[in-house]
A and B are shown apart, each in its own frame.
Chain A
Amino acid sequence: MATIKVNLSINSSDVLPFVVAINETKEISTASDSNANASSMGQLVCSSTDAKTINTEIDGGVDNRALVYIKNTGAIAEAGASADPNIIVDDENVPIMEIAPGEFCFLPYNGGANSTLTVETASGTGYCEFLVIELT
């Protein structure tokens, strides 16, 4: 069993009529069995014709619940240069999220036994980093 401490903060002075200052922390423990026997982190290059599974090394899939972090590490648009494409995240081949360059998502994922998350783009080459921690 392992313990992971996760903190997420969201701050804004102008997106709502009042100041937003959310700061949440949670300690999460992994199970002591084969359902939580793998964690992986890394970087990937993907495209519209080359979708990549981010949890390939975990028994063929996430057994039940997992903590998932994905960041689009592609280039942000600057003067004279266009941005790299958004990263599309698929749950069992169903698109569920779209992440622009420089942005990230974080979620406790539960797609059922041996489920997979893949990343791809609508067109062009995309770049991302990921962290997958099997929980139960």
Chain B
Amino acid sequence: MSKGNNTLKCTVSFSSADLLPANLNMSKTMTLTVPGTAAGNAAQLLELTVPQASAGSGVFIPPNTEPNDITGRAYYFVQNTGTTYNLIVRLLDDHSTGGTVPDQLGDLAPGEFALYNLDDGVMDSDGTRDHLRLELSCATAVQTTTATVMFWEMDA
């Protein structure tokens, strides 16, 4: 039996007086419906300590594909809550048949945050849908940073 849909509201705003010849003031809001089915059964809020690691050996989110596996689209909010070192964000996808390849989405300076809309389906070149996972690592060798992560699964 379905647990019923859930709702989540996101707003992003940008403002700058000196970036463009005119003032930049922009605010966008979206209201997301998280389905009350198996397509929306994974959502977590996490506080993490993230060590430096090579691609494929970092901190995975979700840590395991079960029971919180993501098999459709998912939103990820990621913030580098550390004060010194950048946070590298990679996604695990499957560009080569039989191989899982981490692809770097970017790096977040201390205090910076991002809202990613990821999908396991489009990351696949071999025709199968994989379990989506995000990978975090500290950008500086032998150091650690901290992060806040929230993800929620969405319909395709």
Contacts and interface: CB of A to CB of B under 8 A. Distances in A.
Contact of B7 (A12, A69, A102, A110): A12
Which of the listed residues B8, B14, B17, B114 has the most CB atoms from chain A within 10 Å of its own CB?
B14
Contacts of B16: 2-5
Given A15-B152, A65-B107, A104-B30, A10 B77 contact: yes
A58 interface: no
Nearest to B114: A107
Interface in A77-105: 86, 88, 91, 94-100, 102-105
A10 B121 contact: no
Interface residues of B, number: 52
Contact of B30 (A14, A103, A110): A103
A95 B20 contact: no
A69 B12 contact: yes
B12 A110 contact: no
A interface SS class: strand
Contacts, number: 148
B13 interface: yes
A3 B17 CA distance: 8
B106 A104 contact: no
Contacts of B118: 96-98
Nearest to B111: A26
Interface in B128-148: none
B30 A111 contact: no
B77 A22 contact: yes
21 contacts: A2-B16, A4-B14, A8-B113, A9-B9, A10-B77, A15-B152, A20-B8, A24-B113, A26-B112, A88-B122, A94-B93, A95-B93, A96-B91, A98-B118, A103-B30, A104-B10, A106-B114, A107-B116, A108-B106, A122-B122, A131-B26
Interface of A: 2-16, 20, 22, 24, 26, 28, 30, 39, 65, 69, 71, 86, 88, 91, 94-100, 102-111, 122, 131, 133
